[in-house]
Each structure stands twice: as structure tokens, then as C-alpha cells.
Structure 1
Amino acid sequence: MREPFVMAQDRPFLHLQDWEHRFPGLVAGFTIRTGGVSEQPYESFNMGLHVGDDPAHVVVNRRMLAQHLQFPFEAWTCADQVHGNRVCQVTAGGAGRESLGDVIAATDGLFTEKEGILLASFYADCVPLFFLDPASGAIGLAHAGWKGTVARIAEEMVKALEQQSKAKREQLLAAIGPSIGGCCYEVDERIMEQVQTSARDWEQCVAPSGNGRYMLDLRKLNTLILLEAGISPDHIESTDWCTSCRTDLFFSHRKEAGAAGTTGRMASFIGWKTRKGASSSS
């Protein structure tokens, strides 16, 4: 399968190329670690206000991304991610763009039908999930670490889009973005006990690595959950980019942070500048 997340020429992000081509007016993608103003250990395009970086540097980086996307910075909207499965509908933009004081509280999934809102969420190995309903134009992002994955945040987003936006599950599009791959993500029995409850065919996502430890493919696990939630197989795209393998391009908490827990964050983003592409061919 062709890689869905393609490096934007002379820009500090990957864009979800097929969606942007098929739906004029949509921007969707995932930032890389270079091209900004943050200093070590957040060098340089850190998007996270919550990791100890100078907030002024983070805001400059966020403004730079908005400018690259030709989106007003006032549209930037994000939440306080807690590794849960709560999903929230966004009706007005601007939350959390310059301060943690006004983020959307305790939420790992955001969706909207409105144009002029740029949804964003933050990563340094966890799985970014992108959603689009071609009929209504509803768009969404979900942050899926192992906790959110086993809590089936992917399914919670599908349910929310179905209930709030009248989306039909079989018509929804989903994309799985850059994250730590099954090549690099080793977990213990404690996590595996929960993985075993998360999807019927969970064994497809796990390879024993010895001494009671396992290699876990979170992207594949989220794919299984999306399929169980009713998304058509040909409507799911998944990346091959591994954040741990490619620390030249991405921040990786697992590979870089160590005991200090210090590294930057990439941002996933999606938004309609205009809605003219909302009913394009699916």
C-alpha cells in the first residue's frame, strides 16, 4: 500500500496527501521535529506546551505551522490529553492555542463539522487517528496511546460521528499516522493483559520477545478496532513511519526521553479552510 503521509516540500510536516487532493479546502497532516525555534532538548519544532519547553517558543512554532497551512492561528484548537477515550465535539475554535489554561479538559478525541477550526493533538510515539465523513464533512482526531487504544477510543470516535454528525460507519474514512511501530514497541505482561481484551484478533498485533515481554503493533491494533467498529477495510489508510526508528524526523519518548522523560511533541492536525470539498467522491 502507498504511504499516505507524504513529506511536504520545504515545509516542516507530512501531509495526508490523498485526503487533501480529494477534498479541496481540507488540510490534514503531521508535523516533524525540525524547522522551528525551540532549543534542546526540544529542538526544534516542538508543538507541546506541557513538556517543559519555553511557552513562547512553542507558540511561535504553532504560529509557524498555522502560517504554513494558511490557517488563522485563532483557529487552533486542542485538548488536555489524558490517555483516555473521551471524545468531544468542537463548535468554536481557539482552545489551548497559547496556554494550558484554556485547553479542552481531559479529552483525547476532538471532532467538528465546522469550517475555520484547526483541530490539533500531540504525540511522541502514540498513535494519531484521523477521521473524515465525506457526506457531512465532519472531521476528527484521536490520540491513541496503549491506554486509549485498549479503551477503544477509535470506536468512541466512530460512535460520536454517527450520533452527532449522522455519519454512516461504512462511509467514514480513517487514517493512522506516524507513531512507534511494532518493530520498536516492547511491552510487559501487565499491558498485554489489557491488550487481550481490546480486540477479537489481538494476537495478530503481538510477537513474543522473550522474558515475559512482547512487541506490540499499536497501529495494527487500532486497525482491528476500526474494522470492528464498522469502518470498511478499503477506507482505512495506515502509515509506515515509525517515530522510534526515525528520530531524525520525529520526537520519540520511548527512544529519547529515558528517565528524564524530556522530549518534544509533534502535532497531528486537520481542518477545513472551506467546506467545498466535503461531498467529494468517497
Structure 2
Amino acid sequence: MEPFVLLNHSYFTLESWTKSFPGLIAGFTAKRGGTSKGSFESLNLGFHVGDEVSAVRLNREKVSELLDFPLNYWVGAEQTHDIVLKKITKADRGIGSDSYEHSFKGTDGFYTNEEGILLTLCFADCVPLFFIAPEKKMIGSAHAGWKGTVGKIAYEMIQAWGREGIKPEQIFVAIGPSICEKCYIVDDRIINLVENTLEDNEILPYNLIKDDQYSLDLRELNRQILLKSGVPDQNILTTGLCSSCNHEEFFSHRRDQGKTGRMVSVIGWKETANRL
């Protein structure tokens, strides 16, 4: 069963999590229902892609209203395809919410155990990873393109939570809408890095198409890294939604040849007072 369910034309909710954990917002935006024009039509949420800043701010306000989560409670990052994670507190609220310049620099993942914070990251093919340890109220998100994936950002999150006293078997992970293996063709250089990441693996997350061309399943690669990190297989949900195949629903950096908008992943606990 697909874990990400279209709630309305602008938003996919991570349904099983939000039903199981009262007060949790978790999901992924679609490309429809915004105000941006041209290559960014219409719900572009990325400040850094060349769209009108005013349009992006208006789009973010629309999503804020849709989720009933104030924009000044969001946090955002200057994502650099690295593996740096940041633990967020309420003191950080608003950083990166309404401008790219004031976002967290050199950061590709967030986590927090505080209410009233919405963790957001931008995507247009890379793999969004959602994390939750419900017993500890810890939530997190990570941006895993091929660089972040082979750098094992998923493993880094599990390690960071281990330092918080959370065991891998207490962690649930969802792998969100992103480019599928049929749409993601890479060369020998990247496959060599993948092989270094997964030494002695029986199941290979790629297939040879022809000389120096492989189809790479980034979602499966992240799943295997999570398994090696100690997360039980039954704790991992994986989407079947491809950002490149689904032209009507998603922006895609590869399909749109680099001139496109961004969706965002969102995860956060609503403040208890707001749920009463």
C-alpha cells in the first residue's frame, strides 16, 4: 500500500503515521495549487531556483494555512548534498521559513523532540527521508540525493539518535516521493561509490543498461543503508511515487532539465495546546 496519500491537490500526507500519532504533521507537497508561473508553475516552495521571491512566500503561506502550521514555526536549510544534521529547538523557529539567505547553512537534515516546530526540506528528485521514534517524541527529516545517500545520511541520523538514547529498533522511517530507478540513469563513477557504500551486499540497487550506464534505485539504496544501521525491515515504509514519472504531481530536476520548482517534505508535532 502506498504510504503517501493525496490529501488534496497540493499535499500528500504520510497517512499511517498521522493516524497513529495524534498531533503529527508529516507529508510531502505536490506542484499544484500555487501562484508561481512558467517553469515554476505552480506551487514552487524553493527560494533558490530563480522564481519570484514574493510568489514563493505566498506559496509557503498557502501550505502553512493548509497544514494549520504557522510559517514562522518552520525551519529550512541551504541544502548542499552533504550529511550534516542539525538538532532544532523552539529558539530556531522561523530560520529559513521566508528566505533562503537566512536558512541553516550547509545542512541536509533536521531532528527535534519539541512541539511547535515544522522541519522542512526542498526536493525535486532527491529522496526525502522521514524519521520518528514515537516513544521519545523524536522526529527528523533528511535530504538524500546520490551524494547524501552514498555519504550515508540515513546512517548519520540513526547514529545521532543513538546519542539521544534511542535504539534503531525504536525508529520508524518513511522513504518519500523521489526519482525512480527507471528515470535515474548514472555512470560508472557513481556506481563505484555505491559499491563502496554497500560492501558484500547480495541485493544490488542498480542494473547495467549498457556501457557506463546504469539504472540506480536510490530509494532501495537508502533502505539497505537503514537496514545495515539496525532499523528493522518492518519499520520502513517506501513510496512508489516517482517525481519524474508523475509530471502532473511533481517537479523533477532531471525531467525538467534543471529549470523547475521544488516540493517540500514536512514533519512536525503540533503544540498540545493547539490540539485541545
Question: Shorter chain as normaliser: what TM range?
Answer: over 0.9
Q: Does 1:155 align with 2:155?
A: yes
How far apart, CA to CA, are the structure 2 residues paired with 1:222 and 1:245?
20
Summarize the alignment of residues 2-17 of structure 1 with structure 2, pairs less than 5 Å apart: 2-8=1-7, 10-17=8-15
How far apart, CA to CA, are the structure 1 residues paired with 2:6 and 2:130?
17
User: Per the alignment, in what secondary structure is the counterpart of residue 175 of structure 1?
Assistant: strand
How far apart, CA to CA, are the structure 1 residues paired with 2:271 and 2:16?
17
Q: CA RMSD in A?
A: 1.2
Q: 1:227-246: per-residue Cα shift (whole Å, max 9, x none)?
A: 00010110000000011111
User: Per the alignment, in what secondary structure is the counterpart of residue 234 of structure 1?
Assistant: helix
- Residues 174 and 237 in structure 1, CA contact (< 8 A), matched pair in contact too: yes
Aligned-pair CA distance for 1:202: 7.3
Check 1:275–1:186 CA distance in 2 against 1; reply closer, same or farther (3 A cut).
Answer: farther
- Structure-2 residue corresponding to 1:169: 168
- Structure-2 residue corresponding to 1:267: 264
- Structure-2 residue corresponding to 1:67: 65
Aligned-pair CA distance for 1:101: 2.1
Q: 1:200-243: per-residue Cα shift (whole Å, max 9, x none)?
A: 32752011010221000000000000000010110000000011
Q: Which runs of no fewer than 5 residues in structure 1 stay unpaired?
A: 277-282
- Structure-2 residue corresponding to 1:280: none
Summarize the alignment of residues 190-201 of structure 1 with structure 2, pairs less than 5 Å apart: 190-200=189-199, 201=201
Q: Which runs of no fewer than 5 residues in structure 2 stay unpaired?
A: none
Q: Does 1:116 align with 2:116?
A: yes
Q: Does 1:136 align with 2:142?
A: no
TM-score normalized by structure 1?
0.93
- Residues 47 and 267 in structure 1, CA contact (< 8 A), matched pair in contact too: yes
What amino acid sits opposite 2:270 in the alignment?
K
- Structure-1 residue corresponding to 2:218: 218
Q: 1:110-138: per-residue Cα shift (whole Å, max 9, x none)?
A: 00111000000011100000000111111
How far apart, CA to CA, are the structure 2 residues paired with 1:111 and 1:210?
40
What amino acid sits opposite 1:267 in the alignment?
V
Aligned-pair CA distance for 1:11: 4.4
What amino acid sits opposite 2:6 in the alignment?
M
Q: Does 1:57 align with 2:33?
A: no
How far apart, CA to CA, are the structure 1 residues paired with 2:162 and 2:102?
28
How far apart, CA to CA, are the structure 2 residues paired with 1:207 and 1:129?
23
How far apart, CA to CA, are the structure 2 residues paired with 1:161 and 1:64?
32
TM-score normalized by structure 2?
0.95
Q: How many residues align?
A: 270
How far apart, CA to CA, are the structure 2 residues paired with 1:237 and 1:153?
17
Q: 1:78-131: per-residue Cα shift (whole Å, max 9, x none)?
A: 111000011110012111111122111101010011100000001110000000
Query: Percent sequence identity over matched residues?
Result: 44
What amino acid sits opposite 2:212 in the alignment?
G
- Structure-1 residue corresponding to 2:255: 255
